Amino acid sequence: MSKKLFIKTWGCQMNVYDSKKMADILSPLGYDAVDAPDNADLMILNTCHIREKATEKVFSDLGRLREHKEAKAEKGEKALIAVAGCVAQAEGDVILQRAKYVDMVFGPQTYHLLPEMVMKASGDRRVVNTDFPVESKFDHLPEESTAPGPSAFLSIQEGCDKFCTFCVVPYTRGAEFSRPPEQILNEAKRLVDHGAKEITLLGQNVNAYHGKDVTGATWGLARLIAGIDRIDGLERIRYMTSHPGDMSDDLIDVHRDIAKLMPFLHLPVQSGSDRILELMNRKHTAADYLSIIIKMKEARPDIAFSSDFIVGFPGETDADHQATLDLAHRVNFSSCYSFKYSPRPGTPGAVMGGIVPEQVKDARLQELQSILFEQQRSYNQRSVGRVMPVLFDRKGQKPGQLLGKTPYMQSVYVDAPERLFGQIVDVRIDKASQNGTAGTIVTTEEVLSSPSHETHYRQIGSKNVDKTAC
């Protein structure tokens, strides 16, 4: 008999990928994924620990799941509650102590053991598994049981050896590990066979990828991208998240040579002050970062940049903050994430002196965001009138509307028939706001006569135009 599986996912795309894999692993056991916890037989919270209040959020959600568990118990049925992901890894004991109704707690490296864990928990034994097993979970994953959708994620690397002093990832995800290239190429082919047009290669430190093939040769990310480029039917490749220290020249070159590699780079800088970058143990300077930006523009002049920033790291002065604002001005980003520093227990940053008061952090964040938001708004505004190939990868909120992505990662709302879902179609951008754009599907004739259309994209985009839709 089929059972209901509810998974709620917080955090990064790696967690989204992990949740999908958990569903794939549980599918042979009869679990079907559902969108709400009502009447679910297994409820998993896949958590993120990167910034503050993670644990409180988990407890408040657990309270709600408990009600569902109790409602099921009143009918004489059993429901299991599990906490997975980085909060489970970091605070598993606290969760088990505080929430006696939680049946399973397991870290990100153990979800391939889910069938065993579920069996054990079904037999009324609480399960806790926050090990870093010697075997790789990737060697034990079943083939995908659900369609990936037009835009798929593929985890190629996990963990991190960089130890930035603000970050929990090296502790929760463990040491850097790269999957073998053959395993990745096979998974990529399967995703394309099942309809994916775009693949985003994922890793906490994705450009540090160094997978060994069967001959013992080590592949870097550039070579892996070149291998994936050869998969027929795949139209777009992306990767995230990168560290400036691993932005090798061969990786920069593939941005020039491989048309399927999208002209967008998410490259966190965190701060524009060399003093703070040093305290953060980032192992790069602001000048190093800017020189990567220049090289990337030489390789792919139309590339769009995005980044992550942290304001208010311990010891950050007004002058350090000003250096961050200056860097933002110099790069001119298309979109960014920016955060107030939040001390993470167990990281070196959490015990550093020079704590920045909360109201100073607030003011600095506001000042930085006013620059970044304006850059994003004006980036989108500059797209108005241009024709770009858009991959329709989501349904819009209104009927008759699809949501897609430009090569530059901008969201586009378009009135379009549902059968264009999963297609790449030329769209003229009509309107823009800070968060995205809206556009209209254009005919091939319009594309060819459009002065704003880029030749490069005429080849990639227009071959997929469904002319009957125009």
Q: Site residues for ligand SF4, window 295-354 (CB under 6 A)?
A: none
**Nearer to ligand SF4 (CB atom), residue 286 or residue 388:** 286
- Give the rounded distance of the alpha carbon of 142 from its chain centre: 22
- Please check whether residue 233 is in contact with residue 188, taking contact to mean a CB–CB distance below 8 angstroms: no
Q: How far is the CB of 143 from ligand SF4 (least distance, A)?
A: 29
Q: How far is the CB of 158 from ligand SF4 (least distance, A)?
A: 10
Q: How far is the CB of 62 from ligand 5AD (least distance, A)?
A: 23
Q: How far is the CB of 374 from ligand 5AD (least distance, A)?
A: 20
50 binds, among ligand 5AD, ligand SF4, none (CB under 5 to 8 A by kind): ligand 5AD
Site string for ligand 5AD, 17-56 (x = CB under 6 A): ---------------------------------xx-----
**Nearer to ligand SF4 (CB atom), residue 90 or residue 388:** 90
Among 37, 263, 268, 436, binds ligand 5AD (CB under 6 A): 268
Which range in 5-13, 92-100, 128-136, 167-175 contacts ligand SF4 by CB under 6 A?
167-175
Six token digits for residue 98:
């505080």
Site string for ligand SF4, 207-246 (x = CB under 6 A): ------------------------------------x---
Which range in 2-10, 113-121, 337-345, 388-396 contacts ligand 5AD by CB under 6 A?
337-345
148 binds, among ligand 5AD, ligand SF4, none (CB under 5 to 8 A by kind): none
Which residues of this chain interact with ligand 5AD, rule CB under 6 A? Answer: 50-51, 166-167, 268, 270, 308, 310, 339, 341-342, 344
